[in-house]
Chain A
């Protein structure tokens, strides 16, 4: 069935360093790739997304890249701050569908 693999499961970085989380999807018809951030005890919230007609999207310190051929997409966080500490989920879905397939999540720790 459709699945999204996410790596690493845990990531620890020093404040100011960059963090990269990688995902691979199986459904070649997927064309929408959101990233959600879930702080401890809070709801998941969309932080950035990318559609299959672009290869990269940036929003301040975060960026997402997409390689459709390899079915890979990645989240890049630069100049990490302690408030970036959270669980990050990648996901994939397709236009006209209702299902979003989520990765298992990456717990990011940013050490001050």
Chain B
């Protein structure tokens, strides 16, 4: 069974604080993703990574950065948290297919609900 673990289920931070969200997967997946989930907006891709030290912007990267120093770990960083970053953050991983991309199936973590006051 694929396991994707997010370090914090609930966080409360203040405006301007630096926030780290950690994600670890145990299935040796090459691809890792950070999504943001908001009611009525579905899941929106923030950043993804297909290899160690590689990162690519998703659809809403503004205000976020990421780090992938090890294959199993993908971190999302909010350099200076703002109230509009209050949301549920979901990490996911997937297998890299030959030729690039992924098979399609995403394996999600339980989510980290961040509240910025």
Chain A interface residues (CB < 8 Å from chain B): 1, 4, 6, 9, 32, 34, 36, 42-46, 49, 89, 93-100, 102-105
Are B99 and A96 in touch, CB under 8 angstroms? yes
Task: Known contacts A34-B105, A93-B104; decide if A43 and B110 are in contact (CB<8 Å).
Answer: yes
Interface flag for B16 (CB, 8 Å): no
Question: Which residues does chain B contribute within 8 Å of A103, judged by CB atoms?
Answer: 42
Q: Mark out the residues of chain B between 15 and 68 whose CB falls within 8 Å of any chain A CB in the assembled complex.
A: 31, 33, 39-45, 48, 50, 56, 58-59
B71 → chain A closest CB, angstroms = 16
Instruction: For B106, list chain A residues within 8 Å (CB).
Output: 34, 36, 44, 46, 100
For the residues of B in contact with A, the DSSP-based class is loop
Total count of chain B residues near the partner, CB < 8 A = 28
A97 touching B110, Cβ below 8 Å: no
* 14 A–B pairs (Cβ distance < 8 Å), ordered by A: A6-B42, A9-B40, A34-B106, A43-B4, A44-B43, A44-B90, A44-B108, A49-B104, A98-B102, A99-B45, A99-B58, A103-B42, A104-B42, A105-B42
Choose one: B42, B99, B104, B110; the contact of A102 (CB below 8 Å): B42
Residue of B nearest to A100 (CB): B106
Chain B residues numbered 58-114 whose CB sits less than 8 Å from any CB in chain A: 58-59, 90, 97, 99-102, 104-106, 108-111
